[in-house]
Structure 1
């Protein structure tokens, strides 16, 4: 969090109520310092501000009442030697008792004929009431201390510290240091963005006076997390400034490139090309750009322009694909352009036949385009003058993998591509270190895939439909949520689907593919499907990032309720890549309202960005993209998926700080705190 303590040397033992034994218990809870203690945020709150009347309590519940003790406490013992303290009392004229187990010392807290405020589990019985193991007891004349909102902390069962004791420790810590808490955010930023002061936030979280204080206090913690991450990414982006590798931009290359395409680029593609041209021609810094767009929007041809441009400037470039089959398809496609421009391209994968020849060319020759998989950043690969690195489906590669290939060149331009649309607001946080180009138009010849849904009662009719498709020389994907049957999962598995289809469509060539197969087996099956030797391919989501098969115009997705909207959209993008109309059939027997909403959205929209926004809304944090598991976005307090306003504020604050030199010392302090908390993420 964005604060520091003026007095850095306050130890836990200096806080009243913490001796050696208790200090060790706190350390077992992960509390090693005063900062840790202050940031041990309550898990929940109990509102005890209302005084209840025992006469109004009909059902058992937690409540606070005034009682008068009518007998001395009696202590008895159970067979296991555990004590039972019983005190008779009266409240609002109704007789009852207080029962406390295994705490014989509590008997001394109650005096005959005195009034007390007692908060605890109250059970209404025929004879009156019973309050069992009260959570708090206050003398009547101290009622103001009792009627408050009480913080509840996450204390492990093996830790011998009660909630009351922990609250007392927190109170003592705040009394000791509340005037030493220094906010790293300036008043200018806090006032501009309506953000609570951190000192006030910490006090409100541990000692809230009103329920309404808690939300803005937690918002401050959430803001600090998101702001620190965005500030870190923006600083990373600034570090690129000064690293030069600018190309000469020749308009004749661009004109020749577009003239040799058998289609016209969309306006969005042209804008992306313009962005790349601008980046590559900069004097001050290298390109660090993400091209984001739907499946089939034409990202690859934009990347090919960048590759050709690098080669015509005499530099090497590397294009990394997530699979061998995709690398081979890209290589075959770019060869048509390299022949026109008289530049050399090599294919480099783990199974390339000409691997040694390709390695030699990369080591000795300039201007070569290398197309391949992760083999491009193998230790034995040396580049002569690598100046451009492109990663296709960038989320399939880790940060360390992308860094390894980039380190093989001297300040290379970086271009990343993603077919997973991210809502624009969210991308402000996830990609704050990148420039982003969005291709949000589809080529005019690419018709939207028609999407339908049905249940498994129509399966036989569907098989007949597939058979007719195959007879008309078309191909089909059938996607399954799992490979093998699972008794705990109500899914139609790949094995079951393949077996059933082989029986019902016995005259048709059917194949299957899944992630547990060897790379060679997957390539063999994919090649057969490309060459129409297989008419129906039963698959898992391994085809999500796959090669284009123009003849595949039908995709059937089993148990559609098992997939998120974005993944369903990504899968149907494998379909209809040719001139014929593509169709997607979603199979489900699910009656859930959520499944029905997803399917309805998919049937009515082909816009990946709109679908991503809906997916985000329906599925909630983390499920959609998995960024909860990704390093600096594994936030504790912030939910950037549900709170776009938080991203706007954090982004604006980061821009305010980065654009003004007077904040340079503050930025360094904030980033030092961020590095401290995120070192394992950044190192990876």
Structure 2
């Protein structure tokens, strides 16, 4: 076999890898020999030197050579073998919960042993629990290793020794045939950023050279690991740019409207568009006038007017005799879009369909028929839009709101419904969660991005205050006074637990307590476990001012617009991210009067929590807040990297490697211009067959 294909062989071709082991490796996504090479150690054990007992610290892992001083079996509670050993610098306890008589006899007083394990704080000093140990005859028999020992991620039934032997064979094949895994990063890039070659980086990580310290390997930044993370980021960005280029080969309907239709639409609005809205509408108009599919992301802060911009895009589609699908993550938000679009398109004689999971029977059948025969022009709904029964006649535009809340498969299913032969619908994606530039570069490199960076005139910034929960009675008095003035208020309950049941229970208890102490106030409750119809009933009552105070979980983060509600209390704000707090705060400040947001925290606040609340008090700019959120919490937590549709990395970490992204941009440009032949191999190395997902 030629050297290029040697690492593409199945792991079954390696010595000692039987059918069972192949199955276990499969669970770790290890199928080919090359997969073993990229299966990096989780950590390392230092067996290169014997440590003195008086050097040990809890949490460290150490190799010790010492003499057994005493050994006994304790029968109190759990039967335990306890030994004490000494190396003349101090004493260390050993504890075994599972042991045999033979083990007990081998650890008799005066026996010399070498042992390896994690140091813990015990009842009477430091101890090891279930260490690896070996009886030796003299100190020189205490065998040390020449290099640090790699500890690999495992799965049930797979032993560390088995995977080490497999990796060792894979590395030998690679080192004997370096061309089998070519270095796809150009030498100019490696020189510029001072990264090691691929073969050097992989050898360093699997088999650290003698003398390299544990600190050098595991502490930030490790050049070998950084180099691999860098290559993975480069591959991800190249894959998105590849898809952007591939999209140009698809056809899309040309969507245009007459000047008269545009004037009629704008005249029907009760407000004047901001310069930022007009700029983004011009960008969308240019995109839709082309027969290449638009793929545009609109970022706009809470209340910046993204929805009316998307409505103008819908006008272009309707004027060109195409259908528009608008997908929102919650029924509350979908219903708000329904109300807005119904008002804005009242004079345009278009049939608007509202499709959610709640629509049943004859009404659902009639809606499906109107979508299929093309008589429905605008179709608004939740995930129900992409179910198999929904067939569009002429889908020309897809609008997705709060896109990060949908799984990538859901978004793809909707796009596929409009795909016909060589045609795709235009796509407009909206988010009120500002995305820091660095994350946008990585997550949305295949999208054209428009930013609405201007709020409508007359918007008064929300006054934000942090207040201790110990002053709860003052807060309740303020609510009472506020409501007596004819205004409305929100009370948002949060819990650190992710259990929705606990969140709802907290909201129910809070509502009951407030009903008791504010008997004159009309109080409603909304949480995620209520039926959609019940939730909507409460929200409508609040909107119509039949309720004064709405107690809610973070379910109201999107999709609520009540201008008269100008006071919000957020309990335990220290438990939420800055961006989420900013989203919640955006529910107030929608009228022309002063609005307030009180962040009612639990004392004492940690330094980081205090910093975060201060940022909210000082600025209402969502983009500044997003950058600070990224800085303080890290991108994984901020963006929800476990969420379907977010990028999953094998080696790179958004937490540790985000500083690489500016370098990635430079490398990507260089590879595109001078080494285009490396693009596809890089993408296949790191993403394999997953590249379809970011087509949405």
Distance 1:195 1:256, change over 3 A: farther
- Which residues in structure 2 correspond to 1:159-178 (within 5 Å)? 159=158, 162=161, 170-178=167-175
Distance 1:497 1:159, change over 3 A: same
What is the CA distance between 1:158 and its match in structure 2?
Answer: 5.6
Give per-residue Cα distances to partners, 1:183-228, cap 9 Å, x unaligned.
2514244345544322111100012233446712112332333333
- Which residues in structure 2 correspond to 1:246-395 (within 5 Å)? 246-248=254-256, 250=258, 253-254=261-262, 257-283=265-291, 285-340=292-347, 342-350=348-356, 359=368, 361-365=370-374, 368-395=377-404
Distance 1:22 1:499 in 2: 58
The aligned residue for residue 223 of structure 1 is 230
Choose from 173, 177, 180 the match for 2:177.
Answer: 180
**Does the 8 Å contact 2:45/2:151 carry over to 1?**
yes
What is the CA distance between 1:262 and its match in structure 2?
Answer: 4.1
The aligned residue for residue 113 of structure 1 is none
Distance 2:172 2:688 in 1: 27
Distance 2:262 2:565 in 1: 33
Distance 2:163 2:101 in 1: 18
What is the CA distance between 1:241 and its match in structure 2?
Answer: 0.4
Choose from 640, 643, 651 the match for 1:626.
Answer: 640
Q: Structure 2: where are the runs of 5+ without partners? A: 75-80, 104-112, 121-126
What is the CA distance between 1:378 and its match in structure 2?
Answer: 4.4
What is the DSSP-based 3-state SS (H/G/I as helix, E as strand, rest coil) of the residue aligned with 2:566?
Answer: strand
What is the CA distance between 1:368 and its match in structure 2?
Answer: 2.6
What is the CA distance between 1:171 and its match in structure 2?
Answer: 4.3
Choose from 556, 564, 567 the match for 2:577.
Answer: 564
Distance 1:175 1:391, change over 3 A: closer
Choose from 603, 607, 613 the match for 1:599.
Answer: 613
Distance 1:53 1:527 in 2: 72
The aligned residue for residue 108 of structure 1 is none
The aligned residue for residue 196 of structure 1 is 196
RMSD: 4.8
Distance 1:677 1:197, change over 3 A: farther
What is the CA distance between 1:623 and its match in structure 2?
Answer: 2.1
The aligned residue for residue 127 of structure 1 is none
Distance 1:531 1:174 in 2: 70
- Which residues in structure 2 correspond to 1:35-50 (within 5 Å)? 35-47=34-46
What is the CA distance between 1:387 and its match in structure 2?
Answer: 0.9
Choose from 524, 542, 556 the match for 1:543.
Answer: 556
User: Aligned residues, how many?
Assistant: 648
- Which residues in structure 2 correspond to 1:27-106 (within 5 Å)? 27=25, 30=28, 33-47=32-46
Choose from 668, 671, 681 the match for 1:669.
Answer: 681
The aligned residue for residue 664 of structure 2 is 650
The reply to whether residue 149 of structure 1 matches residue 176 of structure 2 is no
Distance 1:375 1:489, change over 3 A: closer
**Does the 8 Å contact 2:295/2:447 carry over to 1?**
yes
What is the DSSP-based 3-state SS (H/G/I as helix, E as strand, rest coil) of the residue aligned with 1:532?
Answer: coil
Give per-residue Cα distances to partners, 1:508-541, cap 9 Å, x unaligned.
2111111111111111111111110011111111
Report the TM-score, using the length of structure 2 for normalisation.
0.78
The aligned residue for residue 453 of structure 2 is 440
The aligned residue for residue 422 of structure 1 is 435
The aligned residue for residue 451 of structure 1 is 464
**Does the 8 Å contact 1:388/1:413 carry over to 2?**
yes
What is the CA distance between 1:27 and its match in structure 2?
Answer: 4.5
What is the DSSP-based 3-state SS (H/G/I as helix, E as strand, rest coil) of the residue aligned with 1:481?
Answer: coil
**Does the 8 Å contact 1:292/1:436 carry over to 2?**
yes
Distance 1:158 1:379, change over 3 A: closer
- Which residues in structure 2 correspond to 1:406-421 (within 5 Å)? 406-409=415-418, 410-421=423-434
Distance 1:501 1:367, change over 3 A: closer
Give per-residue Cα distances to partners, 1:237-273, cap 9 Å, x unaligned.
2221022322346555545544554444333322221
- My pick for the range that moved more, 165-174 or 565-574, is 165-174
- My pick for the range that moved more, 42-51 or 508-517, is 42-51
The aligned residue for residue 463 of structure 1 is 476
Distance 1:592 1:206, change over 3 A: same
Report the TM-score, using the length of structure 1 for normalisation.
0.80
Distance 1:27 1:77, change over 3 A: farther
Distance 1:192 1:584 in 2: 49
The aligned residue for residue 126 of structure 1 is none
**Does the 8 Å contact 1:429/1:651 carry over to 2?**
no
The aligned residue for residue 538 of structure 2 is 525
**Does the 8 Å contact 2:355/2:367 carry over to 1?**
no
Give per-residue Cα distances to partners, 1:365-404, cap 9 Å, x unaligned.
5793333444444444443322111112222333333333
Distance 1:536 1:149, change over 3 A: same
- Structure with higher Rg: it is 1
Distance 1:630 1:624 in 2: 14
Distance 1:10 1:354, change over 3 A: closer
Give per-residue Cα distances to partners, 1:136-178, cap 9 Å, x unaligned.
999999999845434334457965555xx86566445433431
Q: Structure 1: where are the runs of 5+ without partners? A: 106-115, 124-129
Distance 1:478 1:465 in 2: 12
What is the CA distance between 1:462 and its match in structure 2?
Answer: 1.7
Distance 1:339 1:519, change over 3 A: closer
